[in-house]
Amino acid sequence: DQQVKQNSPSLSVQEGRISILNCDYTNSMFDYFLWYKKYPAEGPTFLISISSIKDKNEDGRFTVFLNKSAKHLSLHIVPSQPGDSAVYFCAASGEAGSYQLTFGKGTKLSVIP
Amino acid sequence: SQTIHQWPATLVQPVGSPLSLECTVEGTSNPNLYWYRQAAGRGLQLLFYSVGIGQISSEVPQNLSASRPQDRQFILSSKKLLLSDSGFYLCAWSILSGSGEQYFGPGTRLTVT
């Protein structure tokens, strides 16, 4: 049973345009949602997180939006740069006080120069 | 600042051979520690986590085991590797923070032949 789902395995975007990565979840007990970026043969790096009591969090070019009623979150990257090309993982934490992260399967973003 | 080390970076082992992957964290005390595996084309699968020395929780039954002999050392082992053990192994740490944010090491690429 996949509690965190990233339904798009890949996404291509032109440099300078907006990249929108989507994530759906099924467990309403999650407290926080996080986005990670991963280059090949490297460990994931933390990008941005959002509390379940917020609906938006912004950090530079990265903004995460949370729609609790739809159990949906999205990561917006504006403007997209070639260096943003990577696999992006959505993760959720806080179920029943747990600090474990539940990850989606990832979306591979390709930013075309 | 905190850093996390993993070694080796790559490993090629024959089926049936033993395995030992090591992870150490610097700059923090009493972290939660995690072992993940990323199989080809798949997401991050949590294998083990530890909240303290000698305390190991297993998420997936398999022929792998984990140990935490020291506060900032986490070891992943196997007595006899299987072909299906091939993958990218990641160690991560976290503290008991609200977001559950985890920080990943550089990973070990294991190929079982």
Q: Higher-confidence residue: B60 or A72?
A: A72
Among A9-18, A52-61, B88-97, the range scoring the smallest mean pLDDT is: B88-97
Answer whether B106 touches A (CB < 8 Å). Answer: yes
Mean pLDDT, rounded, for B95-109: 86
**How far A43 CA lies from chain B's nearest CA (Å)?**
5
Residues of chain A positioned with their CB less than 8 A from the CB of B106: 42-43
Bridge pairing between strands A72-77 and A86-93: unpaired
Asked whether residue A113 carries a pLDDT value surpassing 70, the answer given is: yes
Look at residue A97 in the predicted model and tell me its pLDDT: 56
Facing A106 at nearest CB: one of B34, B43, B103: B43
Give the Cα separation of B10 and A108 in Å (integer): 23
Q: Higher-confidence residue: B2 or B71?
A: B71
- Closest-CA residue to B70 (of B25, B110, B113, B14): B25
Per DSSP, the three-state class of A26 is coil
**How far A93 CA lies from chain B's nearest CA (Å)?**
6
Task: Return all residues near A99 (Cβ < 8 A) that are at least 6 apart.
Answer: A93, B32, B94, B96, B100
Asked whether residue B51 carries a pLDDT value surpassing 60, the answer given is: yes
Q: How confident is the model at residue B95 (pLDDT cuts 50, 70, 90)?
A: confident
The first and second tokens of residue B7, run together, are: 């070694």
Asked whether residue B27 carries a pLDDT value surpassing 70, the answer given is: yes
SS (H, E, C) B23-77: EEEECCCCCEEEEEEECCCCCEEEEEEEEECCEEEECCCCCEEEEEEECCEEEEE
Chain B, 58-77: which have a CB under 8 Å from a chain A CB? none
Asked whether residue B76 carries a pLDDT value surpassing 90, the answer given is: yes
Look at residue A2 in the predicted model and tell me its pLDDT: 80
Give the Cα separation of A39 and A86 in Å (integer): 5
Bridge pairing between strands A10-14 and A107-112: parallel
Q: How confident is the model at residue A44 (pLDDT cuts 50, 70, 90)?
A: very high
Highest mean predicted confidence (pLDDT) among A25-34, B15-24, B94-103: B15-24
Are B94 and A99 inside 8 Å of each other by CB? Answer: yes
Asked whether residue A13 carries a pLDDT value surpassing 70, the answer given is: yes
How much is the CA Rg of chain A, to the nearest whole Å? Answer: 13
Residues of chain A positioned with their CB less than 8 A from the CB of B107: 41-43
Strands (E) in chain A, as ranges, are 4-5, 10-14, 19-25, 32-38, 45-51, 56-59, 62-67, 72-77, 86-93, 101-103, 107-112
**How far A113 CA lies from chain B's nearest CA (Å)?**
25
Contact criterion met (CB below 8 Å) for A87 and A108: yes
**Number of C-beta neighbours around residue A63 at 10 A:** 18
Strand partners, A102: A92
Contact criterion met (CB below 8 Å) for B64 and B47: yes
Look at residue B103 in the predicted model and tell me its pLDDT: 94
